[in-house]
Amino acid sequence: MASFTKELSEVDAKKQMAIPTNFVEHLPSHGGGNTQYIPVVDVDGKVWRFGYYIRGENSPYPKPVFQGEWHQFAKAKKLVAGDQITFRIETDAAGNPRYTIAAQKPVSDKLFGHVIRGWGQEF
């Protein structure tokens, strides 16, 4: 099972999310500059169509990104910079890839006067 966890930047939360370059090897072939759409299931069972795109070699921003319904997902989950997502590739009963995503908001609390930081429940 391949996965990555990422704290979102402002661009990630508002427009498109940069994907770690080394994670692309786990995604279907993008067809050389074309957007490849994959179904991504959130923790509520809703399926989103994320497009992933790898920009051309001459682009000043060569990182691969999630587009498509990524923006709608981020808006529906009220994601902002500093929130965290975990993206996983699992295998279904038939051996096919199943893409899942969960988001978390940062939380902080005090324990004996000290601030404890962590992550809230996945949504």
Question: CB-based burial of residue 85 (10 Å sphere; 0-12 exposed, 13-18 middle, 19+ buried)?
Answer: buried
Flag whether pLDDT at 91 surpasses 60: yes
- Higher-confidence residue of 58 and 46: namely 46
Q: pLDDT category, 108, cuts 50, 70, 90?
A: low
Which comes out higher in pLDDT, residue 13 or 108?
Answer: 13
* Distances 14 to 32, 62, 76 between C-alpha atoms, Å: 26, 19, 12
pLDDT of residue 53: 85
Higher confidence at residue 30 or residue 35? 35
Please give the CATH number for the structural domain made up of 2-119. Answer: 2.40.330.10
> CA 45 → CA 29, 55, 88, 95, 96, distances in Å?
25, 30, 14, 19, 17
pLDDT above 60 for 67: yes
